[in-house]
Amino acid sequence: MKKLCGALTGLFLPILAYAADPAASPVIASPGVGIGSNLGAGMSGQILQLVLGLVLVLGLIFLLAWALRRVQQASPRGAQAIELISSKALGPRDRLVLVQVGSEQILLGLSPGSITALHVLKEPVSSVAKTEQATPEFAQRLMELLGKDQKDKK
């Protein structure tokens, strides 16, 4: 990460120095051209400088976002000790949550100001069997509803 910052500083330092001191850039006047045309040339130069600065800043933002994403992907995600098994809303801000920590399952009560352990389960609850049974019923009911909607449209 330090190498990346050093490389970016080396690349953008001359550009930033140029942007900080626009008086250092000479305004070249064409012979036989009046003062009014120099004013237009100076204005277009400033607009060009503004656009280049904007592109530079946006490029730097995207480069830093890309680097941050790469750094976050390097951390291991698969070895998590805590797993969320199930969650049930009791109200707009209160929930019951079943989490598994190692081989234990704990029922937690969550409210805006606190987390309370309500019960440690002696036997783990398997939620996989319940979801497998509910899925075909839901899919079948959805197909019935979709079939009715398509018949009504014809």
Contact 86, 131 (CB under 8 A): no
- 66 and 88 both lie in a single domain: no
- Between β-strands 114-121 and 82-89, what pairing exists: parallel, antiparallel or unpaired? unpaired
Residue 9: give the domain boundaries.
2-74
pLDDT in tens, 84-102: 888 999 999 999 999 988 8
Residue 108 exposure: Cα atoms within 13 Å on the Cβ side: 19
> Does residue 57 sit in the same domain as residue 102?
no
pLDDT digits (tens, 9 = 90+) for 45-87: 899 999 999 999 999 999 999 998 888 777 666 667 888 888 9
Q: Are residues 63 and 89 in the same domain?
A: no
The answer to whether residues 15 and 61 belong to one domain is: yes
Same domain, 70 and 86: no
Of 14, 46, 74, the one marking the end of a domain is 74
Total number of domains constituting the chain:
2
